Amino acid sequence: MSDAAQPTAAEVRAAAEAVKTALDRHLAAVERRSGEDDPAVYDAFNLLATAAEAYDELLYDRYDEVTPFEIPGTDDGLPPYAGPEEPNALSVLIRRDYTVAEPQRLLAQARRVEAADHDADLDEEASGTVHGALGILFGEFEPDEIASRHKEFGLEEGDSTLWVTAADEPADAGEWLETPFEQLDPQQVVCRFDVSAVFDDELDELDDEDDDTDGPGQETDEADDDLDAELVDDEEDLEPLDADR
């Protein structure tokens, strides 16, 4: 970052003061909380997180330093559930990201579908472009099938998420089709499931840490293997019992 774009020392100090104010407000909200899921505490938490993040960024930009604090989000990054206790309807929202890793494979699969469906009248323009091929494939296959066979279609999986939301009554037919994702209320989300390479990386790091502490255990396993080998040798040396004795 250039010197001209750096925040001033006064801006950093103002951000620090904002964090102090947010801390006081958060503590006051916690002291006055009316229940486990008090919305005032939730709002104060978000304000504190926002102020701390802003201060951390300015501190780094100005002084190349960071804070030692990491403010966790709520479970799954969602506010407390405030929907109906016994929902009569639900909606499932799914997002899956892909990278077009092999465009030629994608185009070839689209041509196969096109040839099977329109044997007498091939539409070369549709299957000849990536966006046209995507339209053909997603029109032919269910999203779950594409997810399970993504490599066949030249796609590479990215992050994905699935949200289940609850409602008292089902929506009227055609009510939300024009803007299907704009009416989501986070407090109506019953549960969500996220898949990301970030989580795999974290698990790999944990596995690496476990491997570093497995030295003595590995020696024990090797000793057990040696013992098993000795037992096998002893069994081979045993003579069979005479049935007439």
Q: What percent of the chain has pLDDT over 70?
A: 71
pLDDT value for 122: 52
- Tally of domains within the chain: 3
Residues 178 and 209 in one domain: no
- Residue 78 domain-assigned? no
Residues 103 and 174 in one domain: yes
pLDDT value for 95: 92
- pLDDT mean over 53-78: 78
pLDDT value for 207: 60
- List the beta bridge partners of residue 94: 162
pLDDT value for 152: 94
Residues 225 and 167 in one domain: no
Which of 14-18, 188-192, 209-213 holds the top average pLDDT? Answer: 14-18
Confidence of residue 53 (pLDDT cuts 50, 70, 90): confident
- Residue 16 domain-assigned? yes
Look at residues 84, 94, 85 and name the one whose alpha carbon lies nearest to residue 167.
Answer: 84
Average of per-residue pLDDT values in the chain: 79
Residues 105 and 162 in one domain: yes
Q: Dig out the tokens for 163 from the structure.
A: 């949200």
**What DSSP designation does 173 have?**
T
Residues 169 and 224 in one domain: no
- Residue 7 domain-assigned? yes
What's the domain range around 217?
205-237
- Residue 159 domain-assigned? yes
pLDDT at 145 over 50: yes
Residues 197 and 209 in one domain: no
Q: What whole-number distance in Å separates Cα of residue 245 and Cα of residue 241? A: 8
Summarised one tens digit per residue, pLDDT across range 203-241 is 555 566 556 555 544 444 554 555 454 444 444 444 444
Residues 197 and 219 in one domain: no
Residues in the chain: 245
CB-neighbour burial class of residue 166 (10 A; exposed 0-12, middle 13-18, buried 19+) = buried
Look at residues 43, 18, 19 and name the one whose alpha carbon lies nearest to residue 30.
Answer: 43
C-alpha angle 12/17/21, rounded to 5°?
A: 145
Rg of the Cα atoms in the chain: 30
Q: What letter represents residue 27's amino acid?
A: L
pLDDT at 76 over 60: no
Residues 99 and 183 in one domain: yes
C-alpha angle 113/119/123, rounded to 5°?
A: 70
Q: What's the Cα-to-Cα distance from 222 to each of 17, 96, 215, 216, 219, rounded to whole Å?
A: 60, 45, 11, 10, 5
Residues 190 and 212 in one domain: no
DSSP for 216-232? HHHHHHHHHHHHHHHHH
Summarised one tens digit per residue, pLDDT across range 157-189 is 999 999 999 988 998 999 999 888 887 888 888
Residues 111 and 193 in one domain: yes
pLDDT value for 240: 45
pLDDT value for 127: 73
* 87 contact partners, CB below 8 Å, separation of at least 6: 166, 167, 168, 190
Q: What whole-number distance in Å separates Cα of residue 57 and Cα of residue 193? A: 30
- Residue 79 domain-assigned? no
Cβ atoms of residues 126 and 132 within 8 Å? yes
- pTM for the full predicted model: 0.51
Q: What whole-number distance in Å separates Cα of residue 33 and Cα of residue 75? A: 19
